[in-house]
Amino acid sequence: MTGTFTRLFRITLAAGSAVVLAGCVASGGSAPRGSHPESLYFPIPDGWTPAHSAENANQRIVELVRDGETIDRWSQLMTIQSLRKDAIGQPIESFLAGLRQEMSKRCAGLAWNVIAAKEASVLYEWSIRDCAPDPDQHEIARVMYGKNSVFRLAFTIKTPALPAEKRDALILALSEARVIDEE
């Protein structure tokens, strides 16, 4: 990474294992005074392949697709993001309101639902239908605020209707994610 930020991301992907995605820290490779590096722990279900990643000084994104698919041709997409909390500069409710507003611009027929909310974590879903050029999609996602980082995990499926058992399985999987303080 260039500039005054050092990359502290670790991605560990092995069959049946987990992803660990760590957040950014300030210049010189050290965390802001009084802060600690954090990571996201999340068990990766079988059948997923890394397809795309990108980063800048404020965020990192990793996208996985089902085995045999590509980032340009996917039926299911898993998105894992790490963002610098100080770059966001807003509480979790405002961050989600911004996400919802952006999705509403993309599709006026957006359906949005908060499934569960805690002080530092929100599990939510959205779906769009008949919003050309986008295909019908349903996403279940979780945003988690750590001390220094914001993590977002999402499963997006191209479907006009997500079966209840698939929805329940995704909610359970996202509920297993944890922010780990590496002090």
Whether residue 8 has pLDDT greater than 50: no
What are the phi and psi torsion angles at 145 (to 5°)? -95, 125
CA torsion sign for 97, 98, 100, 104 is positive
| Contacts of 68 by beta carbon, 8 Å cutoff, 6+ apart | none
- Across the range 143-147, mean pLDDT stands at 91
Residue 98: partners with Cβ closer than 8 Å, 6 or more residues away? 90
Q: Taking 50 as the threshold, does the pLDDT of residue 135 lie above it?
A: yes
Q: What's the CATH number for 46-174? A: 3.40.1000.10
pLDDT tens-digit series, residues 49-97: 999 999 998 889 999 999 999 999 999 999 999 888 888 878 888 888 9
- Which pLDDT value is given to residue 2? 30
Is the pLDDT confidence value at 13 over 90? no
Indicate if the pLDDT at residue 32 is higher than 80: no
- The confidence score (pLDDT) of residue 23 equals 46
Mean pLDDT of the chain: 81
Q: Which residue has the tokens 């019908």?
A: 136
Tokens, residue 137? 């999609």
pLDDT, position 25: 40
Residue 77: per-residue pLDDT: 97
Percent of the chain with pLDDT over 90: 48
